[in-house]
Amino acid sequence: MLAFVFTTHSIYAQQLVTLQEVIQDALLKNYDILLVRNDSVAAAIDYEYKNVFFLPRLNGSASNVYNHNDQKQNFSDGTKRERNDIRSSNLQAAVNLNWTLFDGLRMFATRDKYEEFTKLGALNVRSQVVNTVADIINNYFNIVQQKQQLVAIQEQMSISEERVKLADKKLSVGSGSKPELLQAKVDLNAFRAAQLRQQTLIAQLKEQLNQLAGRPISDNYEVSDSIPINLDLSYADIVKNVENTNPGLQVAKKNIDIAKITLRENRADLWPTVQFNSAYNFTRVNNKAVVNPFTPLFSQNKGFNYGLSASIPILNGFNTRRLIRQAKLDVEYNELSLANLQSQVNVGLSNQFKNYEYQKKALALEEENIELAKENVTIALARFRQGVSTFLELREAQISLADAYNRLIAARYNTKLAEVELLRLRGELLR
């Protein structure tokens, strides 16, 4: 790996936070990851109860009613009966069992669907983790990039300060001019303003990184000085078996599996439903007094009954057929989505690898350019001290050095971005 290191000295010692530490914090505290994990846990809870569809439903009921009535009866033969303050109680209890023996295999499909939802939840978590890690890596090394830019600005400030001293000295001995001194001071102030902007930008980027990692927004720290780059990625290794490593493609495949199970569930409605029904009933009526002599004072009934019932679908407005056709369309839609996503991933990998190769070449060129620009400034500054070069030549060399720094820092960061995007598409950022 190439290494391009800038070192800084700060008045206040700050804790150095590595990229691995930030990623570890994000895996535990990032809000997007926590939200997706919550959905995954909910699916896992449903899967724990996947076998309840095969079990019978058992329900119990009980009631006890007390009556206090006045009763009067007139019969066709002219007989009259009347009784006041008739008290009675009616106790009822039952235990009912309903067991679905066959429902067109819907219960098996629903059980399988819960299992697939659990797998989908895990894949969604992995996809979110990969994307979040990519964002964190890009943000972290953006801070490193801006930190390197700050060091480059500080180096330019030192050169401008030297220019101001030399211009002032030349003016004092009569070999310089006032415009040279003024321009040197203007350039120095411009770099000082750039330094303030750069420090503010770094602070803002750190707060963004803190939010991604679930750290306190005001948490201040120092990042590393360099951007390590893997320059040995090969296209053959990146695209190899990518359909089984890309999180998005895995999620799309799982959605197809779930859509097919939904189709099985809808087809089950074409078949009869057979149930085993059973109940134990208990009834007791206790009358303290009766008007009708044929009404018992005490009556008790208890017993067990059981049997089979079948529900046969004949016509329901063709709703089942409609649901089946929609489920088939959903399967086709998810299959098309997978094919589309595969195409996008393949194009993305191809384009990103071309960009990766270009950025590597640009980085090598800028590594060479920075050495040339540094040497040019050194020579121009020495010639200016000796009075054999002009102020404009030194300023031009300084501008060239500043541009070389900007291009080099950008090339290193852009190469890292290309590497991260390739690994994100590959799904290997977690390794």
Domains of the chain: 58-102+274-312 (no CATH), 128-271+316-426 (1.20.1600.10)
Are 370 and 377 in contact, with CB atoms under 8 Å apart? no
> 302 - beta bridge partners?
282
Residue with tokens 């009358």: 287
Res 12: pLDDT: 42
171 burial via Cβ count (<10 Å: 0-12, 13-18, 19+): middle
Spans of the chain, pLDDT less than 70? 1-13, 289-294, 430-431
Q: What angle do CA 28, 33, 37 make, to 5 degrees?
A: 95
Res 7: pLDDT: 40
Question: Rounded CA gap, 32 and 41, in Å?
Answer: 14
Are 6 and 152 in contact, with CB atoms under 8 Å apart? yes
Question: Rounded CA gap, 333 and 331, in Å?
Answer: 5
- pLDDT tens sequence across 244-275: 999 999 999 999 999 999 999 999 999 999 99
Q: Classify strands 273-287 and 80-102 as parallel, antiparallel or unpaired.
A: antiparallel
Please state the pTM of the whole predicted model. 0.82
SS3 (DSSP) at 175:
coil
Res 290: pLDDT: 67
